[in-house]
Structure formats: structure tokens, C-alpha cells
Structure 1
Amino acid sequence: MKLALREEMTPGETLPERLAWLERLGFDGIELTGPSLELPPEEVRLAFAGSPVQAATVGGVSTLIDLDPDVRATAMDTMRSRIELCASLGAVGVLLVPQFGRTPSLPDLEPVMGAAESERELFRFQLRALAGEAEAAGVTIFLEPLNRYEAYMVTRLEHGLDFADRLQPCVKIMADFFHMNIEEADIAASIRQAAEHIVYVHVADSNRLQPGRGHLDFKPGFAALKEAGYDGYLGIECRVAGPFDDALTESMAFLRDQWAAA
């Protein structure tokens, strides 16, 4: 098991400074989801060449099904550049949130097609096109289910499987313990059902603070991941209570203990 942190959470004015801070605390990877995505790709690659910290993931976009066709076209171009960056860095994959919002934004075309169905079909169409390019580049695209208060389309692992099972093998899913704690009746059982498609994991506690500061029992879910042979990243994505460095150091130790005990 390896530990990663989102770039926006990581102290430092530049990518090399952020990587140095992560190395000092003992992190293995960083999720490129912030300002580094705006840098020239060669500058990003050079930063990683001088650090033992790896690129865990590359962030995607959430506007593939925007109402505005120009926004959709820009989103597709951005995803293509992220796929290229991911391939050059050897990251796990490109993280993709299908949409934000509790209701569809596309028009309702009943009786031909409802708004939610229209968005699902449009997302599947866009994702299929990107998956072909990702497959050729040797890159995985993985979907992140969000809880019902943040999204409506993909809120449980099984919803992500509906897309992963119907598209190219390079389309996978991730498991987020904070969202699963809200949406899944049995986190461990849901992980077992989706295990072959899970390529990345997010961790935050029940209150969205750092792991160890809430009441979420991580061990059953960790056990299910270990049973499936998962040995990848646990990406910390949360708010942080307490002195930042100390709080994250304690949380990292907590996660390692929970993983070992699972």
C-alpha cells in the first residue's frame, strides 16, 4: 500500500517544493489536480525526475456533458492532454468525475428521452471516444462515484461498473471511503463486487477530516481490498484538523496501522 495526497492540499509554491514536502513527510505520491496541470508538460516531468515521490494520478475534468458544446469540446481536448501527461509520467490513470450536481443540466426530451438518460448517453459517447485514445496510450481512465449530495449519475461503485463493463478495458473506477460511507450499505461487500475494476482509493473519515479523526471503521474495506490483491495508493482527500504536518503524520500512521490490521 502507498500513500498519496492531493496537490491542492500540499504546501509549497512550486511543484518541486510540494514534492520535497511530501518526501519529508513520507508520502509516496501526489495527485496532480492543481496548478501543476497548467505547467508545460516538460516542466512537470523534470520535477518528478528529481524526486522519489511519484505522480499517483492526473486530474480530469467534469464538463464532458456540459450544455454548451464549446465547453464540451474544450473538455475533450483537455482530457486528451491529460491522457498524454499521464502516459509520460506513468501515473495510475486519469481521474474523472462524470458530473457535479443533484439534477441533470441537459433538457428533458420526453417522450423520446429524459434528461438523465440523455446525460448518461452523452457521457458514454464522450467516454468511449476518450477510452479509445487512452487505450492506445496505455492509460487508464477511472471514474469517481460521489455521494448523492454532490452528484446524481454515479454515486455508488455499481454505477461506475455500468460504464466500465460496457467500454474498453482501460475504463475503471475508484473507491472513495467518504462517499461510500454515505452511499454503500456494506462498504466491504461493495468493494468485493467491484474489486477487479478498482484501481485507486480515496480516504477521508466520516466527517471528511483526516482518517483517524472520525468514526469510520476502515478495516473491513481495507480487508476487502487486500483480499482482491490491491496494493496501490490510498489518496488522502479531506479537510485537516490540527497542526497540518503533525495531523497528516498521525493520519498516515493511523492508515498504515489500519491496513496492517485488516
Structure 2
Amino acid sequence: MNPLGIHALVWAGGWSHAECEHAVRNTREAGYDLIEIPALDPATIDPSHTKSVLADHGLRAVCSLGLDLDADISSPDPEVVARGEAKLADALAVVTGVGGDYLGGAVYSALAKYGHPLDPRGRDNMIAGLRRLARAAADHGVTVGLEPVNRYESNAINTVADALAVITDVGEPNVVVHLDVYHANIEERDFTAPVVEAGDRLGYVHIGESHRGYLGTGTIDFPAFFAALAAAGYAGPVTFESFSRAVVSADLSDRLAVWRNMWSDGMDLAVHARRFIADGLAAAERTR
């Protein structure tokens, strides 16, 4: 069975002690195996408290983030790159501090709409920065995942092919593809090819509907995607991700272009998503 995870923003918009306890408790009550903690602002996370709460509920944790335009390792500006690398170092410290073994997302560029293509000098900086991050992560047994996101959220890695090219250039064994079906729905030609293309470099999977709401109520062909995962023998985490302004802070909602509430009851959404994913994976496995 794949470990099933859920993004913490289904439960809470921040990571105070109370929000951490609420999110972790609800994750366990909804039947998930792990929680994905957004490390967008690593300074707001108390790793020791989080680790203790996770242990109390028998949960694993991973972390994800996207960089900012003023702290972006894909920038041609050395000062902006330095701020981006510092933020990644802080996020890695959170991962290790909570006892996690994975850091993924848009760790390679800002999560933002760029007004220009990726600068070749910026790409060189990105490769060098990711190589340093991967080597530091390896010292702690942490895997780094590159999440292809749609063209409106990065100009650096939009497809699995983009991610694999960067992974090849980085040249470190602990760098993997973090495949998000929501973004694949925009950028890939179907829901099977990216899984096949990623091959044994596929290390983490995000599940989200085309409109970020309840699974099965949008346009994504989940049976095809689950069948591709089963055929590939993928055994890694499968994590549900959904955003609503009802929970996510206004600033982050604006950044993610979450303009409407697709849901308001996080527990109902989470329980439905877990059942949907588990049933879909099981059906795909039976027919493989």
C-alpha cells in the first residue's frame, strides 16, 4: 500500500502550536499516514514541538515549499540566489527537525507568474543551488523532490521532461520527480505518459482535482492516472492537496490564485479524498 498523505493547508492556514496540533490530530482521525507541512516561512515552524505532536499521533511528516521572487535560486542575480539558498537551508532544517525525510515542491524557482522565459544564467544558478541542497539533504537522509508546476506558477520546470533534464544536470541520486496531477492536467499530454516518463525517478505524488475541490468532481481522469501508477509499480507517498480561502490565509490564497471556496468542511473533504484515493489505487492494482 502507498502511504497516503494530506496537505496541512486542508486543516490550517498557519503553523502555530495550536494549528499544528489541530492539523496533526485531524490527519490521524481522517486515516492518513503522513502530513505535508508547507515550509513557506520556516521561521514560523517549531520543529521540536511538531516532532513531539507527530510522535503522539503516530504520523510521518514531509515538507514542501515554493520560493519567492526576491529569494529565487533561478535568478541571474547572485543576491536573490543567496536569499533563495538560505530559505532552502532553513526549510531543510525544518524537515530534519521534525524527523522527516522529504523536501519537495517548487524548490527550484519562485512560485509565481514570470513575465519572461528562464534566463540561461538563472538556470545555471538553479542547477548549482539544487546540487548544494541535494548534497546537504543527503547528509540527513532527505530526498529532494522537483515538482513540475504549470506555466503560470513557474518558468523553470513545467513538465516531467523539464524535471528530468534538471535532475540529470544536478547529478545527485537523492533528487526525484514530484508529480502533481493537477499541474499535469495543464501541461502534460495525458495522465499516463508523465508516470511512464518519470520511471524510477518518480518519488512523490500529489493528488488534486482540476478545480482544487472534491476529487471526482472535475475533469481529471483519475482511473487512467491510478492505472499508470499501478503499472509502474509506484510504492511511494500519494498526498492529497486542496486549497480553499475558507482555511488558507488571504495572502497565500492570493499567491495561489485561490479566489473561491471550493469547500468549507476540511474533515468531510479529507475523509472523502482518502476513500477516493484508496479505492482508486486498489481498483487499479486489481486490474493491473
What TM-score do you get using the length of structure 1 for normalisation? 0.86
Question: Distance in 2 between the 1:157 and 1:232 partners?
Answer: 17
Cα distance in 2 for residues equivalent to 1:2 and 1:238: 18
Q: Any idea what SS the aligned residue of 2:92 has?
A: helix
C-alpha displacement at 1:17, in angstroms?
Answer: 2.3
Shift of residue 89, structure 1, vs aligned partner: 4.1
Q: CA RMSD in A?
A: 2.4
SS in 2 for 1:147: coil
More off after superposition, 153-162 vs 30-39:
30-39
Measured in 2, the distance between the counterparts of 1:117 and 1:21 equals: 44
- 1:39 is matched by which residue type in structure 2? I
The alignment partner of 2:156 has SS state of coil
1:40 aligned residue: 46
Matched, 1:180 2:184: yes
**Partner Cα distance (1:8, 1:257) in 2:** 23
Offset from partner CA, 1:101-149 (integer Å, 9 cap, x none): 44367xxxxxxxx962122111011111222212222211111111112
Query: How does 1:109-128 map onto structure 2 within 5 Å?
Result: 116-128=119-131
Counterpart secondary structure, 2:95: helix
The alignment status of 1:7 with 2:8, answered yes or no, reads yes
What's 2:81 paired with? 72
Pair 1:134-2:137 in alignment: yes
Please state how far the C-alpha of 1:92 moved relative to its aligned partner: 4.2
Conserved? CA contact 1:15–1:36, under 8 Å:
no
Residue 256 (structure 2) aligns with: none
Which amino acid letter does the alignment assign opposite residue 47 of structure 1? Answer: V
Partner SS, residue 59 of structure 1 = strand
Give the counterpart of 1:21 among 22, 26, 50. Answer: 26
Which stretch shows the higher mean deviation, 10-19 or 144-153? 10-19
Count of residue pairs the alignment pairs up? 253
Residues 61 and 79 of structure 1 are in contact (CA less than 8 Å); yes or no, is this contact kept in structure 2? no
- Residue 137 of structure 1 aligns to a residue whose secondary structure is coil
Percent identity over the alignment is 26
Q: CA deviation at 1:200?
A: 0.7
Query: Which structure's relative contact order is higher, taking Cα pairs within 8 Å and 6+ residues apart?
Result: 2
CA distance in 2, matches of 1:8, 1:115: 29
Residue 49 (str. 1) matches residue 55 (str. 2): yes
1:227-242 superposed matches below 5 A: 227-239=231-243, 240-241=262-263
2:95 alignment partner AA: C
Measured in 2, the distance between the counterparts of 1:151 and 1:83 equals 21
Corresponding residue of 1:213 = 217
Q: Deviations over 1:15-36 (max 9, x none)?
A: 1222111111112111110589
Q: 1:212–1:251: 8 Å Cα contact kept in structure 2?
A: no
Which residue, out of 93, 96, 100, partners 1:91? 100
Contact 1:210-1:236 at 8 Å conserved across structures: no
d(CA) in 2 for partners of 1:237, 1:14: 17
The alpha carbon displacement at 1:59 in A equals 2.2
- Match of 2:148, SS state, is coil
Which of 228, 237, 243 is residue 265 of structure 2 equivalent to?
Answer: 243
Q: Which amino acid aligns with 2:270?
A: L
Answer whether contact 1:7 1:34 (CA < 8 A) is retained.
Answer: no
Read off the aligned partner of 2:196 and give its amino acid letter.
R
CA distance in 1 between counterparts of 2:264 and 2:46 reads: 35
Amino acid paired to 2:281: W
Q: TM-score, normalised by structure 2?
A: 0.79
Quick check: 1:8–1:34 contact (8 Å CA) kept in 2? no
| Structure 1 residues not aligned, in runs of 5+ | 106-113
**Partner-residue secondary structure (3-state), 2:87:** helix
Structure 2 gaps of 5+ residues are: 244-261
**What SS class does the counterpart of residue 50 from structure 1 fall into?**
helix
Amino acid across the alignment from 1:22: T
Q: In terms of mean alpha carbon deviation, does 218-227 or 59-68 score higher? A: 59-68
**In the alignment, is residue 154 of structure 1 matched against residue 176 of structure 2?**
no
Higher mean C-alpha deviation, range 62-71 or range 76-85: 62-71
